[in-house]
Amino acid sequence: MGTQKKTTIKDIANVLGLTPSAVSKALNNHPRISEKTKVSVQQVAKNLNYQPNHLASALRKGKSNLVGVIIPRANSNFFSAVLQSIEDVLHEKGYNIIISQSYESFEKECRYIDALLFTQVDGIIASMANETTDFSYYEKIKSKGIPLILFDRGENALGVDYIGIDDYKSSHLIVDHLVSQGCKRIAHIAGFSHTRIYKNRIKGYEDALEKHDLPLDDALVYECKLTKQNGREIMEQLLEQPNRPDAVYVAGDYAALGALQVLKEKNISIPDEIAIVGFGNEPFTSLVTPSITTIEQHSTEIGRLTAEAFLRRIEEAAIPPTLNKMILEPELIVRDSSDKK
């Protein structure tokens, strides 16, 4: 009991008095195999409880049907939704997915890239860790000649496919909205500007302020890792300034929550004294009081497009080596934290 020997294609062949190659062809629906043989092979395969050995066929075909996905963490509404969407599309096409969470660590990311390459994945889909500024490991993927697709956290410099939302425009949506609510002094708790998406959000914020003839004040912009704790600390610093902001655009929902909590603790009215806008539409933004205005990133769509980009690269081999960049439209979801009614 337990470890009975696994049935192979050879066992089926023996039962039917065929060769293994005939059985293989029958199972793969080869046109030269007779209908009769195919049927009996199927039959025997089922009887013997045959499971094809993926390793052997992957080795022979030079294709593992495994795709590596590297994300900062699965425990985030955005990433898990993208993941689900990628899974749906790729499982459909017979791919299995190896998920690795970098937890924003560059070192882990590198190790996982090595592990995935070692496992002979057919391609890698990734959203970079915040820490990552050195792309040599990603170059390694490219140099192996296997498809690399980036989403959300990407880097154009690599010249690979990228799917994300328009961060620059998101900032405009937010600033426009805050100005329409009568805000005049808008602070920005930003992500680190070495990451493209955060740089774009900062640029969008600055340009939007300029558009509305509002002055740019360096004292109102802070770069951080966008944790809840960062949000708390920076909000406290903002409150100590002689000339307080009347709105804070926070480039991440967790940090926005931290900022919100500080204001609540100090009994500063939201949004009347200070309005808050977050980014990412994490589920809790609609659950807290007041609910937080934020940006929806169309995660399902991003996942689908990412998976499709991968499939295109696989199928079309090395046909279009040009960078394929897809940028989705952001959507502003106005909630209580910025809606003065």
- E strands within 38-102? 66-71, 96-101
Phi, psi of 282 (to 5 degrees): -65, 150
Is residue 324 within the footprint of a second copy (CB under 8 A)? no
Residue whose CB is less far from DNA, 52 or 77:
52
Strand partners of residue 101? 71
- Looking at residue 258, its amino acid is G
Matching residue, tokens 């939704």: 81
Residue whose structure tokens are 């603790």: 265
Considering only residues 259 through 318, tell me which ones interact with a second copy, judged by CB under 8 A: 261, 264, 283-284, 287-289, 318
> If contact means CB under 5 to 8 A according to the sort of partner, which of a second copy, DNA, none does residue 32 touch?
DNA
Considering the rule CB under 7 A, would residue 18 count as an interface residue with DNA?
A: yes
Looking at the Cβ atoms of 62 and 242, the one nearer to DNA is 62
Q: Is 227 among the residues that bind a second copy (CB under 8 A)?
A: no
Q: Check binding of 46 to DNA (CB under 7 A).
A: no
Taking the CA atoms of 7, 10, 14 and 20 in sequence, report the sign of the dihedral they define: positive
98 touches 126 (CB < 8 A): no
Q: Are 7 and 16 in contact (CB under 8 A)?
A: no
State both tokens at 173.
Answer: 């949506």
Q: For residue 75, how many C-alpha atoms fall within 13 Å in the half-sphere facing its CB?
A: 4
Radius of gyration, CA atoms only, the chain: 26
In the three-class reduction of DSSP (H, G, I as helix; E, B as strand; rest coil), residue 118 is classed as helix
Residue 31: asked if its preceding bond is cis (omega within 30°), the reply is: no
Q: Please report whether residue 53 would count as binding DNA according to CB under 7 A.
A: yes
Binding residues for DNA restricted to 67-86, rule: CB under 7 A = none
User: According to the binding rule CB under 7 A, does residue 34 interact with DNA?
Assistant: yes
Say if residues 275 and 295 touch (Cβ distance below 8 Å): no
Among 14, 42, 57, 77, which residue sits at the site for DNA (rule: CB under 7 A)? Answer: 57
Nearest distance from C-beta of residue 47 to DNA, angstroms: 15
Partner whose footprint covers residue 241, from a second copy, DNA, none (CB < 5 to 8 Å by kind): none
Q: Which does 20 bind (CB under 5 to 8 A by kind): a second copy, DNA, none?
A: DNA
Count Cα atoms within 13 angstroms, Cβ side, for 55. Answer: 2
Sole window of 32-40, 86-94, 137-145, 207-215 interacting with DNA (rule: CB under 7 A)? 32-40
Q: What, of DNA, a second copy, none, does residue 105 touch, CB below 5 to 8 Å by kind? A: none
- The residue type at 134: D
* Beta carbon nearer to DNA, 16 or 326: 16
Q: Count residues contacting DNA (CB under 7 A)? A: 30
Interacting residues with a second copy between 108 and 127 (CB under 8 A) = 111, 115-120
What CA–CA distance (Å, rounded) separates 22 from 10?
A: 10
Footprint on this chain of a second copy (rule: CB under 8 A) = 2-4, 6, 51-56, 58-59, 64, 66, 73-77, 80-81, 83-84, 87, 91, 96-101, 103, 111, 115-120, 144-145, 257, 261, 264, 283-284, 287-289, 318, 321
Footprint on this chain of DNA (rule: CB under 7 A) = 6, 8-10, 17-22, 24-25, 27-28, 30, 32-37, 50, 52-53, 56-57, 59-62
